[in-house]
């Protein structure tokens, strides 16, 4: 699965992953991470998610990473932001307005070592095939400051029922990906019904929410 797969999904309107409202798990669980005003949050593979607005409204400095530039450009007018400033550097085109920065480019080329207090992952890890997840998780961990936290939302289902994306990522996989230098805490696992989605027919579908905390030292 390469970048063109997701560009084609946007171009062809296959964007069931985009939600028009704030994600309810973000609203319920991000406050439990104890964010304070002025802290920073990274949102990988953010699309044009309205969740960026909610995070900004909590007083956080928000940075998203998105591959498809038309989604990035659409985010600002669709959410009544002033016209963003646009800069081009290296592998990214950066849009910035009113406390939200979105870098358009490949997340795997993003470099901001230990720069963020939080990472919010609603639909990034589950969008990636197994072969890409270890590298992705390493990037997330490297982006967090010691003691920083990731709010991670995943799906679980029998892979024989559906091939993805979104892919099934169970607790064992989450702990293998992040357990080496992070503490992983399961906050929620529940049966899930998703109307109007390719996932809606899966009898085994569950949703899980994790708090992943980068350890302070070796």
pLDDT at 12 over 70: no
User: Is pLDDT of 199 > 90?
Assistant: no
> What percent of the chain shows pLDDT beyond 90?
74
Residue 119: Cβ within 10 Å count: 23
Phi-psi sector, 13: left (phi>0), alpha (psi -120 to 50), beta: left
Over range 121-128, report the average pLDDT.
94
Q: Are 23 and 153 in contact (CB under 8 A)?
A: yes
At 140 the pLDDT is 97
pLDDT tens, residue by residue, 93-104: 999 999 999 999
Q: How confident is the model at residue 4 (pLDDT cuts 50, 70, 90)?
A: low
Inform me whether the pLDDT recorded for 197 exceeds 80.
Answer: no
pLDDT at 196 exceeding the cut of 60 = no
Burial code of 74-93, b = ≥16 C-beta within 10 A, e = fewer?
A: ebbeebebeebeeeeeeebb
DSSP element (H, E) containing 138 = helix 130-143
On average, the pLDDT of the chain sits at 90
- Other C-beta atoms lying within 10 Å of the C-beta of residue 21: 9
The CATH homologous superfamily for domain 24-214 is Vaccinia Virus protein VP39 (3.40.50.150)
Confidence of residue 165 (pLDDT cuts 50, 70, 90): confident
The domain spans of the chain are 24-214
Spatial distance between the Cα atoms of 124 and 152, rounded to a whole number of angstroms: 9
Is the distance from CB of 17 to CB of 49 less than 8 angstroms?
A: no
């Amino acid at each position: 699965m390469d970048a063109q797969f997701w560009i084609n999904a946007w171009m062809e309107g296959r964007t069931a992953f985009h939600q028009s409202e704030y994600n309810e798990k973000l609203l319920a669980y991000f406050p439990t991470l104890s964010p304070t005003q002025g802290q920073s949050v990274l949102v990988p593979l953010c699309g044009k998610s309205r969740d960026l607005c909610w995070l900004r409204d909590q007083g956080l400095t928000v940075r998203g990473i998105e591959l498809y530039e038309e989604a990035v450009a659409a985010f600002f007018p669709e959410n009544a932001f002033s016209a963003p400033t646009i800069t081009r550097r290296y592998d990214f085109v950066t849009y910035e307005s009113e406390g939200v920065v979105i870098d358009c480019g490949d997340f795997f080329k993003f470099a901001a070592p230990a720069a963020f207090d939080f990472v919010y992952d609603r639909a990034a890890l589950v969008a990636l095939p197994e072969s890409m997840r270890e590298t992705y998780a390493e990037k997330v961990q490297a982006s967090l400051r010691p003691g920083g936290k990731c709010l991670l939302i995943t799906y679980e289902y029998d892979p024989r029922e559906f091939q993805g994306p979104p892919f099934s990522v169970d607790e064992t996989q989450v702990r293998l990906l992040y357990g080496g230098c992070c503490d992983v805490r399961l906050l929620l696992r529940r049966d899930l019904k998703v109307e109007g989605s390719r996932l809606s027919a899966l009898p085994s579908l569950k949703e899980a929410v994790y708090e992943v905390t980068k350890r302070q030292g070796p």
